[in-house]
Amino acid sequence: MLAACRLSEGTRTRVLLSGVLLGLLILGGTGCATTSERQSLLERSAAHVAYRLPPEQVLDAAREVLEEQGYLIIESTDPFYVRTSWQAKFDQSLDIGAVRERCFVMGKQLGDGRFVLNAYRLTYTTIGRTRPHPASPVKDDRTGEQKMFKGDPLSYARPVLMRDLALEWQILSRVSPSVAHNLESQTDAYLAARPK
């Protein structure tokens, strides 16, 4: 039977960064499809981080980042779950071609005390609105008109759910700037040493 080995904080950080650097080398060998290879490598690295911080601290950082992006946070009964309301990416007065998004951040406490999170973005494109509907069954006594609500956004396509690695990188950068800086340094050194 093997005895459990407790590593010091500095050793754990070096082991984590060594593992992430190995991941960067593997990812770099396979190529990146985004315009910014550096940013892609950083975001992919952040997707594999397990935090040794209180979950509340990590999720508070997620809320702050989302609020800075203009999202409204919807309260949840699950302490490891953060979600936002829908946000229109174009002017909401446009009825055609609006893109609506919302974000989800889900965390999980691991058995060894570490905390991991995954961020997701749900997106759909609307092509118009449904028919307007009455706000009340009663017509105005003075004008004889009935107040109407605009129709709801209309889309025949299914929403698209994707992992939001950029958001995970922003959360890591906010919660642990020293680890983010080390990852940036290692990524820069890897990209500089790579054969052209």
What is the token pair recorded at 15?
Answer: 């082991």
Rounded CA-CA distance 9/16 in Å is 10
Give the rounded percent of residues in the chain with a pLDDT score beyond 70: 76
Asked whether residue 104 falls in the same domain as residue 63, the answer is yes
Q: Read off the DSSP letter of residue 99.
A: E
Same domain, 71 and 162: yes
Number of domains in the chain: 2
Whole-Å CA distances, 186 to 18, 22, 58, 189: 10, 10, 23, 5
Domain check: are 100 and 37 in the same one? no
More confident residue, 35 or 140: 140
How far is residue 77 from each of residues 80, 83, 174, measured CA to CA in Å? 9, 11, 24
Q: What is the pLDDT of residues 136-166, one digit of tens each?
A: 777 777 887 877 777 667 777 788 999 999 9
Q: Averaged over 170-195, what is the pLDDT? A: 91
Residue predicted with more confidence, 119 or 96: 119
Does residue 122 form part of some domain? yes
Specify the pLDDT at position 130: 72
pLDDT digits (tens, 9 = 90+) for 49-92: 999 999 999 999 999 999 999 999 999 999 999 999 988 776 55
Contact between 83 and 63 under an 8 Å Cβ cutoff? The reply is: no
Q: Do 57 and 46 share a structural domain? A: no
Please report the DSSP string for 130-176 in residue order.
PPPEES-SSPPTTT----EEPPPEE-SSPPEEEE-HHHHHHHHHHH-
Q: Is the pLDDT of residue 34 over 50?
A: no
Q: Give 42's contacts (C-beta < 8 A, 6+ positions apart).
A: 169, 180, 183, 184, 187
Which residue range is the domain that position 72 belongs to? 53-168
Mean pLDDT for the stretch of residues 127-139: 74
Mean pLDDT check: name the lowest of 47-61, 98-112, 130-144, 164-178. Answer: 130-144
Burial of residue 60 (CB within 10 Å: 0-12, 13-18, 19+) is middle
Q: Would you state the pLDDT for residue 93?
A: 60
The reported pLDDT for the residue numbered 148 is 74
Whether the predicted model's global pTM rises above the 0.75 cut: no
CB-based contacts of 64: which residues, under 8 Å, 6+ apart?
A: 174
189 residue type, one letter: A
**75 shares its domain with 130:** yes
pLDDT, position 31: 46
More confident residue, 113 or 147: 113
Q: Name the band, by pLDDT with cuts 50, 70 and 90, for residue 26.
A: very low
The token duo for 22 is 């190995």
